[in-house]
């Protein structure tokens, strides 16, 4: 990943189809569009690729999350359990619907730790939202069990994991709904875009209206559509959908390349004594967008990052623990409740009560974790070279750590 690495004439052809009619909007203009419906086609392709009943395209992964939450009936006063390791969009969308994000520890799956989820449940909990980070999955059996026992909604933020599977089922299809991002750096990209998927027809109809100002889409005249509820404009454009349509047809190829490169890199890194790898509940279902590895201590990990930087080979290796966008530790704006408009009082109190030292178990995991992004265009030699440079950096640091102090 990302899918843009393999853009080609296919994307151009899909865009040209749209430009030939000039109809860039996904709804209406039935005559002039001459049968070109790229958004509808992409929704059908998502359903057949993932094996789900319904897909609603949106303008982004963030708006897909907001849509899913709102249409699942989650709003003011409701608590949503979400991991401390994710992208900021996860809590932004919870706040956007008036609900309260309840940050919760992760384990070595790099997403929600089931025992921490159990401890986080209160009478106000309405939803558990695992985030399938870096192309692979949460422990969905355990989380689904908890949701069933406590009558909670399971919403899968699969924005980073299009095409990954869990025990044969596509991520996003296990919970009540799943969301995807098709932004520029995802496996399948539309430049900007997202989707909500579900097997629940009623939920899908709500998502369809919610993303288009509440239109009921029952007639051919948009001006005569009824609005049974208030919605927003989270629509995708035909141009964006056209790119996604070309990309989704390449998904199997992307996944096969990623699996190969991931396997080769993992074999090289496995030669390092003391290295560990992310716990992946169903390794066969990994989409292999990243290889996430652990070193014995935070100090060693920091030293390896410094060494990779020194050797000018850090690019593509992510130390999330220090990343401003992906780990709670650096979300000062969230802890300060730094919004431009008023939050509701429940939200404000929860955010201001967040303790930066409140997640030592997650700190111990993320502090030792590096994720290496897997390229689609790497040759075997390049994969080998990247792996060997990482190995050399780690070995150098480990040797120095073990060296007696003079």
Does 156 help bind ligand PLP (rule: CB under 6 A)?
no
**Interaction pattern, residues 183-222, with ligand PLP; x per rule: CB under 6 A:** x----------x----------------------------
CB of 380 to ligand PLP, least distance (A): 29
Among 90, 111, 187, 247, binds ligand PLP (CB under 6 A): 90
CB of 132 to ligand PLP, least distance (A): 8
Q: Which stretch binds ligand PLP (CB under 6 A): 84-92, 254-262, 301-309, 349-357?
A: 84-92
**Interaction pattern, residues 32-61, with ligand PLP; x per rule: CB under 6 A:** ----------------------------xx
Strands 177-181 and 169-170: unpaired
Instruction: Name beta bridge partners: 82.
Output: 103
Does 62 help bind ligand PLP (rule: CB under 6 A)?
yes
Q: In angstroms, what CA-CA distances link 31 with 21, 27, 57? A: 10, 12, 22
CB nearer to ligand PLP: pick between 234 and 359: 234
CA nearest neighbour of 55 among 236, 208, 232, 212: 208
Instruction: Name beta bridge partners: 183.
Output: 191
Does 390 help bind ligand PLP (rule: CB under 6 A)?
no
The Cα 72–Cα 88 span in angstroms is 21
Does 181 help bind ligand PLP (rule: CB under 6 A)?
yes
CB of 273 to ligand PLP, least distance (A): 33
Among 69, 84, 131, 265, binds ligand PLP (CB under 6 A): 131
As given in the structure block, the two tokens for residue 312 are 């000018």
Q: Which helix (H) or strand (E) holds 373?
A: strand 369-373
Phi/psi for 179 (5° steps) reads -130, 150
Residue with CB nearest ligand PLP? Answer: 61
* Cβ neighbours for 128, distance < 8 A, ≥ 6 positions apart: 80, 81, 112, 117, 143, 146, 147, 152, 153, 154, 155
CB nearer to ligand PLP: pick between 61 and 209: 61
The Cα 382–Cα 33 span in angstroms is 45
Does 292 help bind ligand PLP (rule: CB under 6 A)?
no
Among 39, 66, 67, 86, binds ligand PLP (CB under 6 A): 86
Q: How does DSSP assign 94-132, residue by residue?
A: HHHTT-EEEEE-B-TTSSB-HHHHHHH--TTEEEE--B-
Report cis status (omega within 30 of 0) of the bond before 261: no
Does 328 help bind ligand PLP (rule: CB under 6 A)?
no
Q: Torsion angle of alpha carbons 36, 24, 242, 64, nearest 10°?
A: -120
Among 56, 104, 111, 160, binds ligand PLP (CB under 6 A): 160
Does 289 help bind ligand PLP (rule: CB under 6 A)?
no
CB nearer to ligand PLP: pick between 65 and 138: 65
* Number of residues located near ligand PLP, criterion CB under 6 A: 15
Which residues in this chain contact ligand PLP in the complex, by CB under 6 A?
60-62, 65, 86-87, 89-90, 131, 157, 159-160, 181, 183, 194
């Amino acid at each position: 990943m990302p899918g843009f690495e393999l853009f080609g004439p296919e994307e151009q052809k899909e865009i040209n189809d749209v430009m030939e009619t000039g109809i860039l909007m996904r709804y209406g203009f039935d005559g002039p569009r001459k049968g070109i419906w790229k958004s509808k086609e992409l929704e059908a392709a998502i359903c057949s690729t993932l094996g789900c009943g319904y897909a609603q395209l949106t303008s982004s992964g963030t708006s897909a999350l907001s849509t899913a939450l709102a249409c699942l009936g989650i709003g003011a006063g409701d608590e949503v359990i979400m991991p401390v390791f994710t992208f900021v969009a996860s809590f932004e969308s919870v706040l956007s619907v008036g609900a309260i994000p309840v940050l919760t520890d992760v384990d070595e799956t790099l997403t929600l730790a089931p025992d921490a989820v159990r401890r986080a449940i209160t009478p106000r909990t309405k939803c558990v939202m695992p985030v399938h980070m870096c192309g692979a999955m949460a422990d969905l059996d355990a989380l689904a069990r908890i949701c069933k026992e406590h009558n909670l909604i399971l919403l899968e933020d699969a924005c980073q994991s299009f095409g990954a599977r869990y025990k044969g089922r596509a991520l996003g299809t296990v919970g009540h709904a799943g969301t995807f991002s098709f932004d520029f750096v995802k496996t399948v990209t539309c430049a900007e875009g997202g989707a909500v998927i579900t097997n629940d027809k009623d939920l899908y109809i709500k998502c369809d209206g919610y993303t288009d100002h509440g239109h009921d889409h029952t007639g051919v005249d948009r001006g005569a559509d009824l609005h049974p509820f208030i919605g927003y404009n989270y629509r995708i454009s035909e141009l964006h959908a056209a790119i996604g349509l070309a990309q989704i047809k390449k998904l199997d190829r992307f996944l096969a390349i990623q699996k190969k490169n991931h396997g080769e890199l993992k074999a090289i890194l496995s030669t390092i004594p003391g290295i560990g790898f992310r716990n992946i509940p169903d390794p066969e279902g990994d989409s292999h967008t990243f290889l996430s590895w652990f070193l014995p201590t935070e100090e060693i990990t920091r030293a390896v990052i410094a060494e990779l930087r020194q050797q000018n080979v850090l690019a593509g290796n992510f130390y999330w623990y220090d990343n401003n966008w992906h780990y709670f530790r650096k979300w000062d704006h969230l802890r300060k409740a730094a919004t431009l408009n008023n939050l509701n009082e429940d939200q404000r109190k929860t955010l201001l009560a967040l303790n930066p030292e409140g997640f030592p178990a997650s700190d111990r995991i993320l502090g030792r974790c590096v994720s290496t992004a897997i390229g689609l265009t790497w040759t075997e030699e390049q994969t080998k070279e990247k792996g060997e440079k990482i190995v050399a950096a780690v070995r150098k640091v480990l040797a120095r750590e073990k060296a007696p102090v003079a």
